[in-house]
Amino acid sequence: MVAEKIIADNRNGINITIILLLAVLLYFPHLGKTPIYILDEAKNAQCAREMMQRGDWIVPTFNQELRTDKPPFHYFFMILAYKIFGVNEFAARFFSAIFGIGTLLVTYFFSRKFLGEMKAFFIVLVLLSSLHFTLEMHLSVPDPYLIFLISTGLFSVFTFLQTAEKKYVWLFYSCIGFGILCKGPVAIVVPGLIVLFYLILEKELSLKKLLQLQPFIGLAIVLLLALPWYYAVYKATDGAWVKGFLFEHNINRFMSAKEGHGGFFLLTAIFIFAGFLPFSVFIVQTVKHVKAFWQNPFIKFSALVSVVFLLFFTVSNTKLPNYPMPAYPFYAVLFGSFLHSWTSREYSGSMKMPFIILFILMLAIPVAIYFVLKNEPPISLLANLSVYFIIFPIGAFLGFYFYQKGNLRESVYAVSGSFMLMAFVFFGWIYPVVYDQNPVNKSLALLNENKPLVAYKIYNPGYNFYLNKPVKLFDDTAQLKAFTKIHPDYILISRESLNPELQSIGAKTVFKGKDIFETPVTIIMQHKL
């Protein structure tokens, strides 16, 4: 028994070391290399800076105006990173990577507790292989924080239901409280539904069982963690922040498609399938595996979490790839558990067709990326970067080769390794090189710090982050014209589509640049002499 424990501890130590090494290599080396350009990234990064500069931990602002999009949990961590590393791209994303690693470790520890060492390792391998998961940990957005909080909370409440250890139910409520401080009601609504449905599924829904969850103490913990800030921001903004956040960015976002982020009914399912490549090609086999192991409570709970998130965000009218991501650790449980069973030869079905599908998909990616880059004017000269994506079909081929040879574990490692290698190359060279061509980067040299900076109707918020100054925004040409007469040395940012409205201003275009992978064209205008 002692020898077995020593062997198990050594294996556990090796697994954790491998996980940490891979995560650090994937998340940190190129974290600050890509410019802050994506709209959400820029607004979040600048909002945190404005709060820090004012010494204000309560009211979020962007461009010195109230920002009601998100609560401040991620802003707090960005401010901390700014104080440590200075205001830069690396600092804005630093804690996203930290929380990403935290999610990997939490997933490993809870999976090991209920499924064993090697299954837990395969489960985390699935997450490390997901380019979508890795991408999210490279962005200055609240989602990495929410993914950690919701997944940790759900793992914890499941553990409490299995063991009755109260520390886990307290951890659950703590994660819910911080989750509300991170992204609002979704952090309590979806986990609450999952716990309710799980009790119904297990035929354990009763007043006695609900009381065992200590709901009153739990509510007190949640309120203690979340309510003070919500009350403070309500008082500081006369209710404007709470009203804007709850109605505009929660209820309206669920009931209608916001900011053009709608889509057809199955879009969320497609997001998840794409996000879990390469191993989502084994979806049929994984579903069969879930059915075969349905009596395992951890598998059953993970399947329930996966279905609830899928259905919830399928019903939502606003659809974005990051919305179902708090369930990613639970999808990984299902895929990783199947992969371990298959490589342990507990599953005897043929895997030839999934590998053929994977190879075809991976072969199509470099070709598709070549034409996408070639037909995107700002980056058409970078189309040859698509050659790097040959790593995908090579990995798929090697996976199929090892499968044919009967080396099943090597087959999984080859496919997984190719995606991790591609992620390292992508975030180290391809992604930064492509996004360096964005119009904000290319036009910054034209923007004189001493000249008044104005915008008409819409502009990229990356200008705020890199210039560290407010941009005076106009929605009316008459007001803009009056301003330019007083300040003829102005610099104006707008969109080419709004040019007809700007004719009366008497300005000339000095820069024009198409937004990368977007239809708008950013323009910079100055007074026409």
Please write the tens of the pLDDT for every residue from 12-49: 788 999 999 999 999 999 999 999 999 999 999 999 99
- According to the model, what pLDDT value does residue 504 have? 87
Section 125-151 average pLDDT: 97
Strands 521-527 vs 491-495: parallel, antiparallel or unpaired: antiparallel
- According to the model, what pLDDT value does residue 256 have? 55
Half-sphere exposure of 38 (CA within 13 A, CB side): 17
- According to the model, what pLDDT value does residue 43 have? 96
- Write down the domain spans for the chain: 2-254+264-343, 352-400+425-437, 440-527
> Over the stretch 290-326, which tens digit does the pLDDT of each residue have?
999 999 999 999 999 999 999 998 988 777 888 999 9
* 445 touches 524 (CB < 8 A): no
- According to the model, what pLDDT value does residue 259 have? 52
Least confident span in 155-164, 431-440, 441-450? 441-450
Name the pLDDT band for 2 (thresholds 50, 70, 90).
very low
Section 331-356 average pLDDT: 94
Nearest residue to 50 via CA among 42, 41, 40, 61: 61
- According to the model, what pLDDT value does residue 347 have? 84
Percent of the chain with pLDDT over 70: 95
DSSP output for 59-114: --EETTEE--SS-SHHHHHHHHHHHHH-SSHHHHHHHHHHHHHHHHHHHHHHHHHH
C-alpha distances (whole Å) from 422 to each of 100, 128, 130, 135, 220 are 18, 12, 11, 12, 46
Strands 521-527 vs 507-514: parallel, antiparallel or unpaired: antiparallel
Where is 442: in which H helix or E strand?
A: helix 439-443
> Over the stretch 57-109, which tens digit does the pLDDT of each residue have?
999 999 999 999 999 999 999 999 999 999 999 999 999 999 999 999 999 99
- The radius of gyration computed from the CA coordinates of the chain, to the nearest angstrom, equals 25
> Over the stretch 186-239, which tens digit does the pLDDT of each residue have?
999 999 999 999 999 999 999 999 999 999 999 999 999 999 999 999 999 999
CA distance 511 to 40: 24
**Cis-peptide into 488, omega within 30 deg:** no
- According to the model, what pLDDT value does residue 529 have? 63
Higher pLDDT, 236 or 348: 236
* 67 touches 47 (CB < 8 A): yes
Nearest residue to 331 via CA among 266, 268, 244: 268
Higher pLDDT, 4 or 153: 153
In 3-state terms the chain splits into helix, strand, coil percentages (rounded to 5) of: 70, 5, 25
Q: Mean pLDDT score of the chain, rounded to an integer?
A: 93
Q: Which two tokens stand for residue 169?
A: 């139910």
Section 250-273 average pLDDT: 69
Other CB atoms within a 10 A radius of the CB of residue 283 amount to: 16
CA distance 63 to 61: 7
Section 376-399 average pLDDT: 96
Name the pLDDT band for 448 (thresholds 50, 70, 90).
confident
Instruction: Report the phi/psi class of residue 517: left, alpha or beta, with left for phi > 0 and alpha for psi in -120 to 50.
Output: left
Section 377-389 average pLDDT: 94
CA distance 322 to 95: 17
CA distance 423 to 432: 12
Section 417-434 average pLDDT: 96
Cα angle 152, 155, 159; round to 5: 135
Higher pLDDT, 255 or 139: 139
DSSP output for 476-494: -HHHHHHHHHH-TT-EEEE
Nearest residue to 332 via CA among 103, 138, 113: 103
- According to the model, what pLDDT value does residue 429 have? 94
- According to the model, what pLDDT value does residue 10 have? 64
